[in-house]
Chain A
Amino acid sequence: MDYLNALALITNYILLPGLTYGSQLALGALGVTLIYAVLRFSNFAHGEIMSFGTMVCILFTWLGQSYGINFGFLPTALLFLPIAILFSVIYCILLEKTVFSYYRTKKSDPIVFLIASIGVMFFTAGLIRFIIGPSDQSFNDGVRFLFTVRDFKNFTGLNEGFGLKTTQAISVITTMALCFLLFWFLNKTRTGKSMRAFSDNEDLALLSGIDPNKVVLLTWVIAGGLATFAGVLYGLDKVYKPFIFLQMLLPIFSAAIVGGVGNPLGAFVGGYIIALSELFVTFAYKKVLGYILPEGLGPDSMMQFLSTDYKFAVSFIILVIVLILRPTGIFSGKTL
């Protein structure tokens, strides 16, 4: 019986990757939920906006690298992240001005917005494949590990250990900082409060002199910025695949719905719930049980609930369970 080794295993294979992926999902879900709260539609183009921001970041990283710029032990992409954010914010504002504002002034049905966002998704997906091509791009040039499994083993003398990837640390720290900033902004500042008021009751907000155009633009700015963060962090942690972002819509939407759509806190928590359960369900517990159970009782099979191939199915199952048991989500968002 060796709980420390089991704990180290779980940390290495579930907790750290789960927190990282959860952070990326949370940032994506925050964007979806903010758009939903203010503009009241499910933005199917969000994945592609993430992809767009990441693409800009990669292009600038390549440009920077060709001039010999680097960011020490951190990935160079972080240096160009502000530029990428600027680009995707501009892109979002252009989308709002050319596509969505028309339906907003016409007070169209949410379904019309949804179809429009599908059009935007098509366009953006095409644009991305047109510019950077459909193949995978790896652009992480920083130091891969802050400390490796071997360092940990040598340090503690345990059989098992966990390593901390640079990107994992960056993802979690950045997400925490961003969420702290966002919640501070929404709850303490005058503009943030006006956003919440607008989301809560549009007519009343208009009566109180809140400028709807300003609120909507601000929402797009925040959503675009968060989307770029999420995309770049995901791309750094794994690899940038133009095709993956459409598949990521499902876990992102699930995260937003599990937490309660339109509720930023819900999106934040939902991201971690989805990511951790994906890993908990698809992890093979053979080794862990071998450490925890008394000698000789360790299982022979892999002790895996679901094969890793069905990672994305987990978010769907969670979505369905939430829809059946509690459609408003954990933090009682609006019912879609």
Chain B
Amino acid sequence: MSFIQRRIVVFSTFFFAIVLIGLLQSWNVALGIFNLCLISATMALGVNIQLGYAGIFNAGVMGFAALGGLAAVLISYPPVPETISLGGAGILLSAIIIAITTLASIFVSRSYLSKLYKRITIFAFILISLFLINIYGSPAVEKIESFEPAASGFLGGFGLPIIFSWVVGGVFAGLVAFVIGKITLGLRSDYLAIATLGIAEVIIYILKNEDWLTRGVKNVNGLPRPVPYEIRLQESTWFIDFCERYNFPVVESSSILVKLCYCSLFLAVVTILFIMSEIALKSPWGRMMRAIRDNEISARAMGKNVKARHLEIFILGSAIIGLAGAMLTTLEGQFTPTTYQPLRFTFTVWVMVIIGGTGNNYGSIIGGFIVWLLWVEAEPIGLYLVELITSPLNETNPFRIQLLTNAAHMRYIMMGILLLLVLRFSPKGIFPEGK
């Protein structure tokens, strides 16, 4: 079987499964799953650029995705004028202080002072700026957070169309990736994995606790959508006419249409990213990346700046993950920092890339599709399996009830087994690199 046939077979099997869900459950469910499949595929493309092209391990996918979500909030939510007049100045001042400190520290570290002096001055800068922020920032934060905490209590955003946040989310994630990459990319890959694991946790802690920025665990609901609302559709005459002409149920069709709109937006993003990644992979740049990955020493001997290239690719990949995070928040219409969990975001995306085939963009896409489908369908499958295994037991057996209530967690077991099996018996994944 040539690899083109293989691609056709695998992808059509997946779409067959989606159609099957559409026919058996409902088209609404099928499209809902498919939309999240597309977002997963975007994330997987980002991780694949890092892991597949350059062999860089990023265990902070969750954090970068959350930064994308933050961007969605900041761009799309309408500004809250009261809180801005209460504490906007203090926050702005703090931001300026942080910016000045950063610039000054960079200036000092680039200067010709001895290492010890550099460290002492930078440390002093940080202490002074912390002190100043405590004076100017903290009262402002308190004022903002105490303003109608049940409904608002944060600064709001810029009130722009949420689509812009997809780019901004990428920029946010890229900036954080730049800082982390600068620190850790020179060291062996384990360090990067641990450091990114850490930065992801820290980002989530910040998003959970800085209420003035994100409302923290109180969540931000009702982000404006880039697509029409179901209720508006159900009221508009053209839509009702359209449904009557083809005999569609109005309520269900409206939500299907909304999902289709999202779907086309996401599909456009995935297609553009995919084409760009493929071009990059086949370009001299992509060859250089693979050369660096396969033999760093010889690549360095050929005059390639390995550290700079690694940083470049780390930023690119993280930016794509940030974009996917913004897409996810756009789809959900709300930002809930507590849902960001490493097992769900970071490591599942790894499983997608590895199962699909590291270094192969087709692989990342199909990996994202298949793993998300399994992730969603694991609950019914798990429930069915547990029912089957415990069927000899009595209906009221506490052990059986316990297992049945926990059956949803079968998905973690499935992911683990899947990853271990693929790694052991088919380490190149569904679509091996270059095929």
| A257 lies within 8 A of B194 (CB) | yes
Could you say which residues of chain A place their CB within 8 Å of the CB of B191? 257, 323, 327, 336
Could you say which residues of chain A place their CB within 8 Å of the CB of B420? 99, 116, 119-120, 123
| B197 lies within 8 A of A249 (CB) | yes
Binds A, one of B19-27, B149-157, B263-271, B408-416: B408-416
| A123 lies within 8 A of B412 (CB) | yes
B179-197: which residues lie under 8 A (CB-CB) from chain A? 183-184, 187-191, 193-195, 197
| B189 lies within 8 A of A111 (CB) | yes
**A125 sits at the interface (CB 8 A):** yes
Interface string of A110-141 (1 = CB under 8 A from B): 11101110111111111101110110000000
Find the A residue at minimum CB distance from B208: A309
**A66 sits at the interface (CB 8 A):** no
Q: Which of A118, A250, A323, A327 has the most CB of B within 10 A?
A: A118
Distance A120 CA – B420 CA, assembled complex (angstroms):
8
Could you say which residues of chain B place their CB within 8 Å of the CB of A42? 190, 193-194
Could you say which residues of chain A place their CB within 8 Å of the CB of B427? 112
Could you say which residues of chain B place their CB within 8 Å of the CB of A115? 350, 354, 419, 423
Could you say which residues of chain B place their CB within 8 Å of the CB of A112? 423, 427
With beta carbons under 8 angstroms apart, the residue of B341, B351, B413 that contacts A126 is B413
- Min Cβ gap A127→B in Å is 6
**A24 sits at the interface (CB 8 A):** no
| B416 lies within 8 A of A121 (CB) | yes
A336 and B187 in contact (CB under 8 A), knowing A116-B423, A122-B412, A313-B205? yes
Find the A residue at minimum CB distance from B411: A126
Q: Number of B residues contacting the other chain (C-beta, 8 Å)?
A: 49
Find the A residue at minimum CB distance from B419: A119
Binds B, one of A3-11, A232-240, A314-322: A314-322
Interface string of A295-336 (1 = CB under 8 A from B): 000000100010101101101100110011101000000011
- Min Cβ gap A103→B in Å is 8
Could you say which residues of chain A place their CB within 8 Å of the CB of B189? 110-111, 114
Distance A247 CA – B411 CA, assembled complex (angstroms):
20
| B419 lies within 8 A of A118 (CB) | yes
Q: Which of A44, A119, A325 has the most CB of B within 10 A?
A: A119
| B402 lies within 8 A of A309 (CB) | no
Distance A118 CA – B355 CA, assembled complex (angstroms):
13
**A254 sits at the interface (CB 8 A):** yes
Could you say which residues of chain B place their CB within 8 Å of the CB of A312? 201-202, 205
**B77 sits at the interface (CB 8 A):** no
With beta carbons under 8 angstroms apart, the residue of B187, B350, B351, B354 that contacts A327 is B187
**A268 sits at the interface (CB 8 A):** no
**B198 sits at the interface (CB 8 A):** yes
Interface string of A216-242 (1 = CB under 8 A from B): 000000000000000000000000000
Could you say which residues of chain A place their CB within 8 Å of the CB of B423? 112, 115-116, 119
- Min Cβ gap B162→A in Å is 28
Interface string of B396-425 (1 = CB under 8 A from A): 000000110111011111111101100110
Summed over the interface, the residue pairs from A and B with CB atoms below 8 Å come to a total of: 135
Find the A residue at minimum CB distance from B417: A123
| B195 lies within 8 A of A122 (CB) | no
Distance A322 CA – B188 CA, assembled complex (angstroms):
15
**A280 sits at the interface (CB 8 A):** no
- Min Cβ gap B347→A in Å is 5
A123 and B416 in contact (CB under 8 A), knowing A110-B190, A320-B195, A336-B190? yes
Distance A49 CA – B411 CA, assembled complex (angstroms):
19
| B183 lies within 8 A of A323 (CB) | yes
**A102 sits at the interface (CB 8 A):** yes
- Min Cβ gap B10→A in Å is 22
| A309 lies within 8 A of B205 (CB) | yes
**B32 sits at the interface (CB 8 A):** no
Could you say which residues of chain B place their CB within 8 Å of the CB of A129? 406, 409, 412
- Min Cβ gap B414→A in Å is 7
Interface string of A241-282 (1 = CB under 8 A from B): 001001101100110010000000000000000000000000
Distance A324 CA – B187 CA, assembled complex (angstroms):
10
A120 and B201 in contact (CB under 8 A), knowing A42-B190, A111-B55, A324-B183? no
Given contacts A134-B409, A309-B209, A316-B202, 19 further A-B contacts (CB under 8 A): A42-B194, A116-B420, A118-B419, A119-B417, A120-B416, A122-B351, A122-B416, A125-B412, A126-B412, A129-B406, A130-B407, A131-B406, A133-B402, A246-B343, A250-B194, A313-B202, A313-B205, A316-B198, A335-B187
Write 25 A-B pairs (CB below 8 A) sorted by A numbering: A110-B189, A111-B189, A115-B423, A116-B420, A118-B347, A120-B420, A122-B343, A122-B416, A122-B419, A126-B412, A129-B412, A130-B403, A130-B409, A130-B413, A246-B343, A250-B197, A257-B191, A257-B194, A310-B202, A310-B209, A312-B202, A313-B202, A316-B198, A319-B195, A327-B191
Residue ranges of B at the interface with A (Cβ–Cβ < 8 Å): 55, 57, 119, 130, 134, 183-184, 187-191, 193-195, 197-199, 201-202, 205, 208-209, 341-343, 347, 350-351, 354, 402-403, 405-407, 409-417, 419-420, 423-424, 427
Residue ranges of A at the interface with B (Cβ–Cβ < 8 Å): 41-42, 44, 99, 102, 110-112, 114-116, 118-127, 129-131, 133-134, 243, 246-247, 249-250, 253-254, 257, 301, 305, 307, 309-310, 312-313, 315-316, 319-320, 323-325, 327, 335-336
